[in-house]
Amino acid sequence: MSKNITIKLTKAGNRTSLFSISDDLGNLLGNNITKQQLISGVSFNINDSVKVIIIRTVSGNCAKVLNIPITTMFLDEVAGIQFKDSNTGSLWRHLTNPSMYNSFYGSIFPYIIEYPFAYQYYDEIVQNVKDYTKVYKYLPTDDGIFNSNRRIETDNDYFNKAVLYNDQQSSGILNLIPKPINNLFQYVSYPKYNSDSKTILFSKRDNFYQYNTFWSLVKDKSVPLFITSCTSLSIDKEVNQDNMDYSTRSFKKDTIRAKDLKVRMLLDNRSDIHLVSQFLITPSQISYL
């Protein structure tokens, strides 16, 4: 037995142009369907056992998948569906709340800074990272006006992620956690290996934030280390997680060594701190091999 369905698009942005449609049985119903066709409505004849329609949208290099359960509607209800453009233009007022930073329209967006290093004749092995960054928290004000006298400098707040890489090696995503104080049991539980990251400790000493415990996690050097971000066009790249091995390694820990290095720092889990980055150094030793 079969049944007829009609698919209409109710909302989309300007960057969305082509769609492919399939069902939950794996049958391709339509490919390269335009946005205008979906706005008008596209009909298909499908098997009675199909419960979900799968729509894949393509925007640049980024694809999104929508799983839509099949529902029953009257013809006049289908005809009354109106398309709405999801792109809206507006002015952004920054720092209306002095205690909030990388938050836009109620959403947290990453603060990213990347430091490049170039070494001399010999390859060099990175040993640790020392970062001179000042981290401020601003106390709320009654009038909502920025006031530098209402800030305090903290020691346990910092970037929450880091990536060290060169053209052939990458540390993968390093989650940065403050070093536990007076808790040896918790301290020795790090590093922690996750399915898509590794969690390590950072400490602050002599006004330097410091961390180590990293090595290259690249599976295949012939595969790119980064991919284009689908989260936000303001993010230039994301770690290619399919090419990273986050499992525990008791041996074959490939040190990060080359004639250049990039240290990528990210803050994407909060917006209540202000990071003022001064400079970063990477103590290393010459590799003669």
Summarize pLDDT for 187-203 with one digit per residue, the tens.
899 999 999 999 999 99
Instruction: Determine the pLDDT at residue 107.
Output: 78
Compute the distance between CA of residue 99 and CA of residue 12 in angstroms, rounded to an integer. Answer: 34
Choice among 13-17, 57-61, 219-223, 266-270 with the minimum mean pLDDT:
57-61
pLDDT digits (tens, 9 = 90+) for 18-49: 888 888 888 888 888 888 888 888 888 888 88
Mean pLDDT of 165-194: 92
pLDDT of 108 reads 83
pTM of the model as a whole: 0.72
pLDDT at 142 over 70: yes
Q: Please report the pLDDT score of residue 178 as a whole number.
A: 94
Lowest mean pLDDT among 19-23, 143-147, 272-276: 143-147
pLDDT number for residue 197 = 94
Over residues 218-224, mean pLDDT: 93
Mean pLDDT of the chain: 85
What are the tens digits of pLDDT across the range 74-108? 777 777 778 777 665 566 666 666 677 887 777 78
Domain boundaries, given as residue ranges, for the chain: 2-85, 103-287
Q: How confident is the model at residue 149 (pLDDT cuts 50, 70, 90)?
A: confident
Give the torsion sign (CA, 204, 210, 212, 214).
positive
Higher-confidence position of 223 and 253: 223
In this predicted structure, the answer to whether residue 14 has a pLDDT above a threshold of 90 is: no
Higher pLDDT, 118 or 103: 118
- Average pLDDT of the segment spanning 181-189: 88
pLDDT band at 289 (very low <50, low <70, confident <90, very high): low
Per residue, the 3-state secondary structure of the chain, as one string, reads CEEEEEECCCEECCCCCEEEEEECCCCEEEEEEEHHHHHHCEEEEEECCCCEEEEEEEECCEEEEEEEECCCCCHHHHHCCCCEECCCCCCCCCCCCCCCCCEECCEECCEEEEEEEECCCCEEEECCEEEEEEEEEECCCCCCCCCHHHEEECCCCCCCEEEEECCCCECCCEEEEECCCCCHHHHCCCCEECCCCEEEEEEEECCEEEECCCCECECCCCCCCEECCCCCCCCCCEECHHHECCCCCCCCCECCEECEEEEEEEECCCCCCEEEEEEEECCEEEECC
Dihedral sign computed on CA atoms, order 239, 241, 244, 248: positive
Q: Which has more confidence, 142 or 236?
A: 236
Q: Answer yes or no: are the C-beta atoms of 239 and 268 closer than 8 Å.
A: no
Query: Are 103 and 90 spatial neighbours (Cβ–Cβ below 8 Å)?
Result: no
